[in-house]
């Protein structure tokens, strides 16, 4: 393919080098003449293993050249990858001025070219940037140019291993306005063996931030555990080496899918204990200290959403913190119900496991004596609870609750804390806590 790469900084230089190595005809574009001269001289404008060699080979073979002329690059290619910087402003917001400027230039050049062209953003941008800036700017300046395809293709390159990461990515993500357009863009990676995700531009934008925020959280988490380890005389690397061997729960998708707050007899207790231990050792552990507060915020968020509906009659399906258990200890669903009752809501609850425990189980005393106000509104009649509510709250993932979307009345609405498999698509009747 014939591809122009806009921005010859770190991402752009690596991308141009690898594309030319793979046999594509590549034109690098940069406003700085010095970078253009470096590339045309067969050298790398960035310090990164193998990139200089690849650029040298690309220039020598005629597969790679650089220019400051946008029109020249657009006329010579069929696809443009935007790799300009998006630095932080002083207030923490993202500076997208370079993205806006290059979109204006590319759009104007495409208008003059008047032939089909694909424009793909590789720069890291927040959700909404494609819809609010990139797409309208390109279309405005391209006018009625035919066959304009626009996409987002985040990069997952690490400095010092960028060429290896380009060839061995954990995933390839391409977002576009249609799946067909995304698939056409992804053809430049057809030789790479990696999971391919064709998605919307918004998902593609946010995936990169989810990745980097998670990496940052992991570093901070490891360091805070390390701080505690050192203070109590434990080898932190032994702790985390064993921790990382657990790929069923620790290094896995478990616990990472958005939903409601955590609860139960283990997580809240142990997070509080570890935070207390840190304070007793005079350690500052801001991430661990903020976990419980963030968890409480999720309960408050669900409460505010439900209250905003203006419905007084509320039915809750599942009050234990996890389906298949009668354990109500530190259940966030209990906290949510207590907040609703405190506002005078008329609440009914159905949970077959908790109802059984109220009569026979080991938690009978807790249910009858510790939360009697909840015990009194816990019914064993699914249909009666369903008929009661104007708002139906799905509290846990018990399989029997999957039938609720098929049985909801037109005047009822569902608020889902667990993401039912049979989700409703009528916006007026269905909402999820995080979707």
Read off the CATH number of the domain in which 387 is found.
3.40.50.720
- CA distances to 44, 61, 68, 355, 410 from 55, rounded to whole Å, are 6, 10, 17, 69, 63
CA–CA distance, 308 with 35 (Å, rounded to integer): 55
Q: Are residues 164 and 22 in the same domain?
A: yes
H-type helices in 352-426, by residue range?
Answer: 352-359, 364-365, 372-375, 382-388, 404-407
Both tokens of 148, joined, read: 């304009």
- Name the domain count of the chain: 2
Max distance between CA atoms of the chain, in angstroms, equals 82
Q: Which residue in 416, 420, 421, 418 sits closest to 431, CA to CA?
A: 416
Cα–Cα distance between 11 and 99 in angstroms, integer? 14
Does some domain include residue 208? Answer: no
Q: How far apart are CA 7 and CA 36, in angstroms?
A: 10
Name the domain boundary from 177, 200, 223: 200
Tell me, yes or no, whether 251 lies in a domain: no
In this structure, the answer to whether residues 180 and 325 fall within a common structural domain is: no
Q: Is 266 a catalytic residue?
A: yes
The answer to whether the pTM exceeds 0.85 is yes
Residue 197 and residue 50: Cα distance in Å, rounded? 28
The first and second tokens of residue 70, run together, are 């946008």
User: Look-up: residue for tokens 């903020």?
Assistant: 290
Contact 80, 4 (CB under 8 A): yes
Tokens of 424: 């409703």
Give pLDDT tens digits along the chain (435 positions).
999 999 999 999 999 999 999 999 999 999 999 999 999 999 999 999 999 999 999 999 999 999 999 999 999 999 999 999 999 998 999 999 999 999 999 999 999 998 999 999 999 999 999 999 999 999 999 998 999 999 999 999 999 999 999 999 999 999 999 999 999 999 999 999 999 999 999 999 999 999 999 999 999 999 999 999 999 999 999 999 999 999 999 999 999 999 999 998 899 999 999 999 999 999 999 999 999 999 999 999 999 999 999 999 999 999 999 998 888 889 999 999 999 999 999 999 999 988 877 767 667 777 777 788 888 899 999 999 999 999 999 999 999 999 999 999 999 999 999 999 988 776 789 999 999
- Tell me, what's the pLDDT at 362? 64
Domain boundary among 182, 200, 218: 200
- Pair 388, 412: CB distance under 8 Å: no
Structural domain of 79? 2-200
pLDDT at 422: 84
Q: Which residue's entry shows tokens 């009050």?
A: 319
Same domain for 172 and 301, yes or no, is no
> Number of C-alpha atoms within 13 angstroms, CB side, residue 213?
9
Is residue 307 located within the same domain as residue 187? no
Closest CA to 367 of 320, 429, 313: 320
In a domain, 281, yes or no: no
Angstrom distance (rounded) from CA 1 to CA 68: 21
Residue 255 counted as domain residue: no
Catalytic residue among 18, 83, 103, 266: 266
Residues 173 and 39 placed together within one structural domain of the fold: yes
pLDDT value for 369: 79
* 43 CB-near residues (< 8 Å, 6+ apart): 52, 55, 56
Which of 149, 165, 200 corresponds to the end of one domain? 200
- Do 139 and 34 reside in the same domain of the chain? yes
196 and 303 share one domain: no
Query: Looking at the structure, do residues 30 and 164 belong to the same domain, yes or no?
Result: yes
Specify if 219 maps to a domain: no
Same structural domain for residues 8 and 126?
A: yes
Strand 148-152 with 172-176, pairing: antiparallel
188 and 326 assigned to the same domain: no
For the residues of 222-288, what is the DSSP string, one character each? Answer: HHHHHHHHHHHT--HHHHHHHHHH-TTTTSSSTT-S--S---SSSHHHHHHHHHHHHHHTT---HHH
Answer yes or no: do 184 and 321 share one domain.
no
301 plus 188 within the same structural domain: no
Identify whether 127 is part of a domain: yes
In a domain, 62, yes or no: yes
Question: Which residues, including other chains, have CB under 8 Å from residue 300's CB and lie 6 or more apart?
Answer: none
**Token output for 418:** 């667990």
Residue 277 located in a structural domain: no
Residue 89 DSSP code: P
């Amino acid at each position: 393919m014939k591809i122009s790469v806009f921005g010859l900084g770190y991402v752009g230089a690596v991308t141009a080098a690898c594309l030319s190595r793979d046999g594509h005809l590549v034109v690098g574009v940069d406003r700085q003449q010095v970078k253009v001269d470096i590339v045309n001289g067969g050298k790398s404008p960035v310090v990164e293993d193998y990139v200089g060699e690849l650029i040298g080979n690309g220039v020598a073979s005629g597969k790679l050249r650089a220019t400051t002329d946008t029109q020249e690059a657009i006329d010579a290619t069929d696809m443009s990858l935007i790799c300009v910087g998006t630095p932080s402003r002083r207030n923490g917001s993202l500076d997208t001025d370079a993205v806006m400027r290059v979109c204006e230039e590319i759009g104007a050049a495409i208008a003059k070219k008047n032939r089909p062209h694909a424009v793909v953003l590789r720069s890291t941008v927040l959700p909404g940037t494609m819809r609010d800036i990139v797409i309208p700017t390109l279309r405005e300046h391209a006018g009625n140019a035919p066959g304009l395809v626009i996409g987002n293709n985040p990069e997952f390159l690490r400095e010092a291993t960028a060429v290896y990461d380009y060839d061995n990515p954990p995933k390839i993500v391409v977002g576009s306005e249609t799946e067909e357009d995304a698939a056409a863009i992804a053809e430049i990676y057809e030789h790479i063996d990696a999971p391919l995700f064709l998605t919307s531009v918004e998902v593609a934008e946010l995936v990169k931030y989810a990745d980097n925020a998670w990496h940052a959280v992991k570093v901070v988490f490891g360091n805070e555990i390390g701080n505690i380890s050192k203070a109590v005389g434990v080898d932190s690397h032994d702790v985390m080496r064993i921790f990382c061997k657990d790929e069923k729960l620790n290094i896995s998708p478990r616990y990472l899918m958005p939903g409601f707050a955590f609860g139960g007899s283990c997580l809240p207790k142990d997070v509080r204990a570890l935070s207390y231990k840190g304070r007793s050792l005079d350690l500052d552990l801001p991430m661990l200290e903020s976990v419980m507060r963030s968890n409480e915020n999720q309960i408050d968020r669900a409460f505010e959403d439900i209250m905003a509906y203006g419905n007084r009659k509320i039915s809750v399906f599942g009050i234990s913190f996890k389906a298949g258990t009668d354990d109500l200890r530190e259940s966030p669903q209990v906290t949510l119900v207590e907040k609703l009752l405190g506002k005078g809501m008329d609440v009914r609850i159905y949970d077959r496991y908790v109802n059984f425990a109220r009569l026979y189980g080991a938690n009978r005393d807790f249910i009858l004596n510790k939360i009697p106000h909840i015990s009194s509104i816990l019914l064993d009649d699914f249909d009666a609870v369903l008929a009661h509510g104007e708002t139906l709250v799905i509290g846990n993932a018990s399989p029997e609750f999957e039938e609720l979307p098929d049985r909801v009345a037109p005047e009822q609405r569902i608020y889902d804390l667990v993401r039912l498999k049979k989700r409703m698509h009528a916006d007026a009747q269905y909402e999820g806590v995080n979707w």
